[in-house]
Amino acid sequence: MKKLQLLICDDHNLVSEGIAVMLESENRYEIHIVTSGTQALQHIQTHVVDVLILDISMPEMSGLDVLDALKEAEIQQNVLMLTMHEQVKFIKDAIAKGAKGYVLKSTSKAMLMEAIQKVAQGENFYDPRLTTILLNDLHEVSQKKQIALVKLTPREIDILKLIAQNKKTKEIADILFISVNTVQSHKKNLYSKLNIHSVSELVTYAFQHGFVEV
């Protein structure tokens, strides 16, 4: 059986070598190790890599930066993030930037091998523990929106979103086909309902309550 070509990119040699030793015992992988994002990109340009196993936190060039560079260079590369980061922001960023898989460094050998196999085939694989994290985040965002929706009318929400997009009063009026006075009236209602006293606070509120994508 043809061995899968793996490239492990982690700035901690001890971690990379430990993973390599663990996987090589299966005799189904050809493994190469690099310690920086720059080295990973150089290797990918000159070698066939079935799966790039990529850490996030690295000096000079993070794993997320590597994903950006691959996308910019239009290189189709199957990437599996292997990291200690379980924060929602890192997970969402990695997925949005093109990572096929995301597993935590505390994962089992069996799960890592399953992830590698799936990603090598172009499929997605995410550590099951991340499902709970992402669902909790989704629930929290949904709750925030519902709380806000109880307070605000549809028109006030429209205006709040446009304010968060840095639209001026006249621009909002033109977009919504209403008068400037009507926009100002809705803004006053927003200030009153939300106990807010400035445009910057309105913008912050819009982002915190999920009305605007980060």
Q: What are phi and psi of 4, to 5 degrees?
A: -75, 135
Q: What is the pLDDT averaged over residues 188-203?
A: 85
Side chain identity, residue 53: I
Q: pLDDT at residue 173 above 70?
A: yes
Specify whether the CB–CB gap between 126 and 118 falls below 8 A. no
Higher pLDDT, 131 or 82: 82
DSSP state of 4: E
pTM given for the model: 0.64
Q: 152-208: which CATH topology?
A: Arc Repressor Mutant, subunit A (1.10.10)
> How many residues are listed for the chain in this entry?
214
Residues of the chain with CATH 1.10.10.10: 152-208
Q: Where are the beta strands (DSSP E) in the chain?
A: 4-9, 29-34, 51-54, 79-83, 101-104, 125-126
Closest C-alpha to 6, from 66, 109, 99, 77: 77
Higher pLDDT, 55 or 208: 55
At 138 the pLDDT is 57
Specify whether the CB–CB gap between 53 and 82 falls below 8 A. yes
CATH fit for domain 4-132, picks 3.40.50.2300, 2.40.50.180, 3.20.20.140, 3.40.50.11710? 3.40.50.2300
Residues of the chain with CATH 3.40.50.2300: 4-132
Q: What is the pLDDT averaged over residues 115-141?
A: 79
DSSP state of 152: S
